[in-house]
Each structure stands twice: as structure tokens, then as C-alpha cells.
Structure 1
Amino acid sequence: MLKLEELKKLYEEEVVEFRRDLHMYPELSFKEYRTTEKIKEKLVSLGIEIMDLGMETGVVGLLKGKEEGPTIALRGDIDALPIQELNDVPYKSKIDGVMHACGHDFHASSVIGAAIILSDIKNELNGNVMFVFQPAEEINKGAKVMVEKGLFTDYKADLIFGLHNNPEIPWGKIAIKKGGLMAAVDTIRIKVKGKGGHGAIPNATRDPIIAASAMLMNLQTIVSRNVSPLDSAVISIGTFNSGTANNVISELVEMSGTVRSFDPQVRQMLPKRIKEVLEYTAKAYMVDVELEYIFDLPAVFNDDELTKLAYDATKEIVGEEGIVDPIPSMGGEDFSIFTEKVPGFFFWLGVGNKEKDMNYVWHNPRFDGDDRAVITASAVMSNMVLHGIKYANENKNEVR
């Protein structure tokens, strides 16, 4: 991998500069207009064909190798968050109230770096590379829209690789995990309807606030008593809204929450038990309840063969000492929408640097990472492409 190591050093400054530019001009989901143009401009300068999905934001580029063969996709998301940045750095966000607090600037720049490297060696590629710059990951919609627009049906790929930064892992390290890495994400919306009245005469009411409070507590027993201690699940109520005055018992409570899991059987069990707990609690408190259960995203799951491929490709770039075995996260990622269409692998890029105070978690207004890690990710993804082309050629009847 001497060639990739040389290219990594050659293009590091350019890729870091690209990342810092994106960081200074963050854009919210489906509003990534400047980011989209910046990416297109770079891809076109590399001779990479832009594939039109008919979307206002997001980019898909295709690099053709020396001969026809498998197409390997690399994915980086591009949207930012409605958070005011509190970092004092030269590349601080210039957009008031918006920042790359989840590091999607790292992801997009890592894929740009891979595009630069692979363009340099395109005459050595026995296949093609698709670069997917996805909008609106933060609202769980970007991947779905790209698929609806024909990505991986009209524009096919054989494998896809993606990444997410992790500030809790030292910069330059790569986290490789077999099995579940990021959880399935579901949303619950609950309405509890009772009979309102005067706060001083509660016996004449059917108080939905008391009932909803009991429901909230009872829901927690599902994880502690219906999910095996060897599995993982989370039920968290994030909003609880009711009432207009301190001495009025309301007619209605509205709650919403998130449900997370890894195991498909656990995921199928959860809505059934949630519904049962809500309905029986409602009966006990003489109120009515409605549940809306939304299956948002499946879990990000890495299979055995692609984990080995990714491990081998990564080892050639960072060595065995540069690979860590991470603890999975209950956070979600809509990369899993793509892997319903194309076999894929997802890894974490370490960006943490405690000496520079760069270890704040995702979505924190002080989030940042050591951008020297970006070119490492670019080289690793480039090598995953090389290994992926070979793998797809050897498994032609099994990959698609």
C-alpha cells in the first residue's frame, strides 16, 4: 500500500482545507446548496461524472476505472445542525445558529479525499467507484429520498462503505465492529385522553396527566423485564405536553419518544408490548390512549465477510495497532437504508484529541475533532474500494 501512503501525504493539506471550508459554511437538512455546489465543483475537476437524481441537494458522482467491473460506493452525509457553535477556532462556523456539531464535514471530506486518491489511480481500477454525498441524515430522510429517486435501482452498485466520526476514539484510529454497530431507530407518539375539570375537584375528572405519568413509568419495565439482559433496548419519552393553567385538569396529554434496539426480534416485540402496557394502564386509570408507532431506521449491521474485508483493508493503512474494537452505540444512522439495497460496511473514524479539548460528544456546541484524521479515512476508504472490487469480482453471483 505504498502508493496509497504516498497519495495520503500528497493530498492531506488539500483535504483538511476542504473540511474546514465545509465547517465554516454549514447548512441544515435539505438546504445544503453551497455544500452541494462545492462538492460538485471538486468532483468535476477530478473528471468524475455527476449522476442526476433530480434532487436539489446531495451529489452522486461516478468514477470509471480502466475497464468495466463492479461498482463500489462510498457514502458521506453532508448536513449540519441548528446549534450555535461555541468553539474558538479559525474555521468556526460563519452561519449564525448552525454548525457541524455531528461532524458530517468530516464524512464528506473523507469521501472527497477518497475521490482525489482514486482519481489519481483510476487507470489501475478494475471497476468503478460511486461517491454518494447524502443530504438530510439528521432528520432520517436523506437516504430514503435518494433511494426513492433511483439510487441503487437506476444507478446500481455492488457494495457500499460508509463512516461516522467518533470523538471518544483518538484521532487516526479506525473502529471496526462485526454485527450491530448503531441501533434501529423508531418513533412513538402517544395521546392520552381523559375528562378535564377543576384542579380542586379531581374526583369529578379522569386525569390524563396522572395516567400518562403511570404509562411513562410502566413503559420502562419493558426493557427491564421483557428484553433479555444480553440484548439492548431503549424506550425514552422526550416530550410530555398538557395543560393550560395550574388549577385546571386537562383533557389531553401528548407524549413522544424514541425506541432503540439491535435484534430484529426485539424490535418486532417492542411495539406490541408498548401497546399492551399503554392500553392496560389506560384501562386502570379510566382514560383512552392512542399510539402511533413509526419504524424509522433499521440497525447498522456489519456481516462477517465484509467485516473481514474492511479489517484487512484498514490494517494495510493504519496497522493492527490503529484498529480498535468499539462499544456499539444506541444512536441511529440512515446508512442502514442503503444497506437494505446494497451489501455494505460501516465504520467509525477516531477524531478525538484530549490535548486540544476535542472530545465533546456529538451534537454538543463545542464538538470538534482533529482533522488530521480525515486523510486517514480517505486512504482507508480508498483501500476498501480496492478490496471491494476484488471481493465483488470473486463473488459475482452472490453480491447483488
Structure 2
Amino acid sequence: MSAVLSNNTIVHESEVDTHHRALRFLTAGSVDDGKSTLIGRLLFDSRAILADQLDTLEKRGAKLGQPIDLSLLTDGLEAEREQGITIDVAYRYFATKSRKFIIADAPGHEQYTRNMVTAAAGSDAAVVLVDITKLDTAKDDVELLPQTRRHSLLAHLLRVPSIVFAVNKLDAVEQPGPAFAAVSKALNKFAEQAGIELTAIVPVSALRGDNVTQPLDADWYDGPSLLQVLEGLPSVQERVEGQLLIPVQYVAKDGEGVGHNMRTIWGRIAHGQVQAGDEIQVLPSGQTAVVTEVRRAGETVAHSVAGESAGLVLDRQLDVSRGDWIVTPGSAQPTQSFEATLAWLDTEPAVPGRKYWVRHGNRWVQARISAIEHRLDIHSLQPTEAERLNVNEIGHVRIEVQAALPVEPYAKNRIGGSLIVVDPQSNRTSGALLVR
């Protein structure tokens, strides 16, 4: 059986320049599926472990009479080591001859789903681990764990471009071939129902190292190793063509005294590109101006494109501050009411009518949930009626904001289409909004 690969996922170096960028990916899944061990295996096999780290792990293993525990390379908090679970997102870095990687080890426990959402929001790919020992592979229709389904849905909703399922602990089952085939069938069925375009389904044993960095030598699988899949995935490239969109981060005044009152407006370009001579519009004021100079990293440049941080000098003074948006004139239509997918992360349920703070780009405004249209049942993947959203539930809601915002569909752009929800009393991050 070969890996399930989409036709346009594995690309050659000459086809897209995004292949040369570092790949940011997260590992997700249920508790004890082996996420930290898998990352430790990648670091160990790619020789990305410092000598003193390896020496400490070897001494600890020898003292306990056990082999090296690779999960300790990512479980850095004392509470994580004591409880044997991942609590916070741990970032690790490694490189092969052809690619650099930035890994986010996301918590598997349902209580820490909010940390997984944080990691997914900036990732190019998600590796969702599936512990085959927790599933009844003898059934005709294998039932996946709720957290496997939830993390996959969240990664899909957060527009993580590439989703890979790593079926782990193949070394712990008697007949790995048929077991992997049964789980693959269940994963494909779930992905089809959820509208998820899978990149690959890969069998691995993180503990033993099977098919992690080196291809698996088995008659029932002739596909690539997990590392081979990751090396071929593209990095996210924000949309360069089309209209300009920049959330203003800050405004700097260059120099002091008479004749030195030039102001530079800084922000990271969400989509589009900008060059001297372009006309821009500032929202929410609606004022327009012409760009006279584009700066990047302290120098004047010919132009700047999506994904880059740029400073704009305008031909006239405008009232611009952090939280404003710079757009192509007439391209954005600010609104005070919109529909969105809401991933709720707070133990206090989301209810219509309650006021929250929302952040769009760098701007904070008051908002309220005017209606909950429905809740997504992660088991049936069907919408169900709901009067509230409890922790870790996903729903379709209508939002009303105090001041008009230039929102756009999240499917079109991550930055313009995403907002975070904050409880004004506890200051907790309560949810993530994805504009529909």
C-alpha cells in the first residue's frame, strides 16, 4: 500500500521557490499518541541534538535502566515531565541537506486545545498523529478518537495548507499491514466527510524509528517516509497579486526639528504589493494619499510584497495610528456585522448577547455574539442547534462589532479574515473567529 498523496503536493525544487523556505509544521493528536517522541526521533536522526542534551538523556536512561526517552527533548516544563503530557507549545528546529524545519509540538490534552490553535495559525503543515493501539482495527469501520477529529478539523478550519496523518506505534501491533489499511480507510472517510484534502497517510513507529527518516522496508507499504513527505511540502506564500492590505503596526517619526517631520507607517503586508507612486486609502478614516517611498529593514526599496514588513512614506500627513488598515482605494468595505466560524476555547461558554473584546489585525474593538446559527458535531460532522458553545466546540455565529472593520473571508486571507476573542473580565483568550 502506498501513501495517499495529492497530485500537486510533492513538488520539485525548480517548480516553486516556496520549497526553499523553512517549513513550519505542528504535530497534533490525542494524549499519548507519541507527538513528543516523534519530534525527538526527527531531532535525533537528523543529529540536531546538542552533545550535552544527549549525554543527559543517556545518563537518565542508564540510571532508570531504560533506553533514551526522546520525548524529553520537547517536554521542557517541569509539570510536563512530571505528568508525562505536553502542556505548552514547544518549538524545535532542525535541518536536512535539502530543507530547514520549525516544529511546534502542540498539546494533545483537550484542556490545552487553545495552545494547539495558536500553533496551527502560523503553520505550513500539520502532522496529526494517530495511535493505532487505541483503535479497534478489527472493525469494518474504525472509530477515530475525538481529539484526532477535533485537531484535524481545527487545522482544516485554520487553513493549514498540508495535513498529514502519521499512524504511529506500528511496532506494537501483530499485523501492521491490515491494521494500517483499516485506519487509512477510516481517515480517508473522515477527511472526505469533513472536506479535508489529505496530503498523505504515513505509517510510523516514533519509538523505534520506522519510516520516520528512512523508508519502511515492508511488503505492505511502498510509499515515502514521513521526512520525505515533509521535505516536499510547500511553505505558505501570501497572495502577492491583487489589492493591497496592511494592518498598521506603528507609526515612526524620522528626525527632529524643522524640515524633519517625515512619518513612516509600518506594518506587515497581508496581501498584494506596494511601490512608490501607488495610491492608498487609510481605514477607518477613508483618507487617501500617494506613497512616495517604500522602506524595508531601514533602507529604501523599489517595492515590497505580501509577507514582508514595510514602511510607507506618504505625500501628505494623515491621521494614522496603530490598528488602522492601509488598502487599495475602494477595495475594502468595512462592516459592523458578519458571520464567522468560532472555535471556542474558554471554560466559560459563549452565549449570545455577551460583550467581548475582539482583535482584528492590530485593532481592538468591542463586540458581541448576536446569534449562534449552529454547532458542529465533530462525530457526525453535521450542524446541530445550539444556544451556547462550550469549551473546544466549533460553531457558526453572527458577530456585531462596535466599530466597522475591513474583514474579508478567512479562506481568502488569514490576516484579514481572523480575529481573536478576549473576555473583558478575565482577559483570557476565549476564542478564534474565522470570517466566512
**More strand by proportion, 1 or 2?**
2
Bigger relative CO (Cα 8 Å, ≥ 6 apart): 1
Whether TM exceeds 0.5 here: the answer is: no
TM-score, scaled relative to structure 1:
0.26
TM-score, scaled relative to structure 2:
0.25
